Structure 1
């Protein structure tokens, strides 16, 4: 595949090894092409103002929900539910904007996977189709004000059984999309046995208080919240029946961890395209700066980072779809793709010069958002220690 044939209107952007064409069906590629078209026509024009005002326009989800991306017409169910298809979906979304990808993945990845893997067959049957259609919206509430990287042992939100109900007390932080969710998937420690359980808590339940986090310099359109729970009562029927310990939580996280690696790859595609568009048009010293050697070297490095990241996450998802879920593989992918993303977006900002900090050229959004991706869903250090433990047989977390 020749690079010169690629245009920013193509859903996968720069994919010189043809990974999407090699590994996705024609129907799946068609679905993602339609997604790319909607993103370019209806979503991209909203982003600069959304970022400037730190708001998420309702029109964004209004444009995406009718595409039925979790149950796309013509795509076989096995492929539609695969790590590979959901990965490329996140890639295409993040190629446009990381907040948009994070918003959609909060429903399609974090919340849907928590219910699908943590709920009883009856709970899944009652909710999965409604989650896929956005008839029921939800979010994933694990991180706490005092516990992020140490959440496995430090989780402090408490749940106690009281007759047929549970009573939840505690707080969660950095919960994306909570303000518009119908249900919060809340992880709390059972005071009776010390094990972590999961509950579907209505956002408007008595005792639930949401406070939006202000002043962010990354993911500005994505609305994140601190949530407090003060004597919140939920029925036993609202407890996800297949989450009885941290081991079960880890089983769910293991399946979802590749999502953020795909987002890290997708944002690199968006940054590279922003840089290429700019250097083809911008002139200095009497000619387009795309003809300068130093500019071309930076673009080549960006493409190298993107291609390495896309190859890594594609292979990871293929292995996962074969049933091979290995913590250190997912950790390695998150660590490396997010690290490369940081360099890629910095190079994009560089080649745009002073204009690289302006929203109108897109690169500034990717530059700022890469910092959030570098830290969320497992910091660089924690993922490195997971990989290091696998390499040496020694845990070095403390």
Structure 2
């Protein structure tokens, strides 16, 4: 075992980016390391149970269920992430300058991470809860990147980023800096990674690292006499789709399905109208507990939900709504683990047919059983902690 060291994690203040790291952080603490976790003060409570020390600041990012842009254009989101980095960097530097970590790990959206590592001349490792770039990534996404590089907001973003890097003592072009090939630990199943054979060197694929504490919580249980359980969740950001929730309630009224809907903060449960007795609605629900009992999952195909569905072997009906969800849904379709519907075509009959198909087809169940076995046999948390430790100087 290595000598205990100081490891700093620079996180992104949104639950979907924090949850995937918690199991790894707790394991590093268990191994005796002193771990600091930089995160917006409103989400420090997610980090504290790991034993890591939260290093908090007022985050400029919207709350997970709050005011993210309705149109998730790249230049809007990237500018928000840059604002967060510029705003938080001075506070993090003041905190850590007199207590420098031996190793810095950071979330993919935590742009202050690599800058701080350069400031202290310590190794930086990306702890990625989603896709990592591959050889040819720029060419494969040339159209989207060109729009970002040539638009007025994109140019303004480039100028602001270049100024921030220069003020931080880094004379690099922002596009080059963002595209640099850095060491990374990937926390998703390799089967969800596009172009796995072309992923750049330096990426350790350890697979899902679901937090054992979350797995053990079981804050939801099916009511007595419940039939097959169907989870309907569209995430917490681009989920303002009461029409889809209404369609689900109508589709399964009077059936043997027990429907659990998590609608977030943007949808008022009262606005869904009278609901059948076999449908329960929550702002939020213990998704892992519901998936452990579920026979099907209607999902927006966010990466966290995709990983958790495969972990529990639950067939999916993917209804992507924004950003990388379309790519994730396409991967699920290619794996043959469920169905896919376009959001603007969802109707009660179509949704019911898709769910019944996903839940009843033997070939889908077979594929999911095989994938689940592989995921549970992967190194997971221990392999991720080993990988992180390997980068310690």
Same-fold status (TM-score > 0.5):
no
Q: Which has the higher helix share?
A: 1
Give the TM-score, by structure 1 length.
Answer: 0.30
Give the TM-score, by structure 2 length.
Answer: 0.30
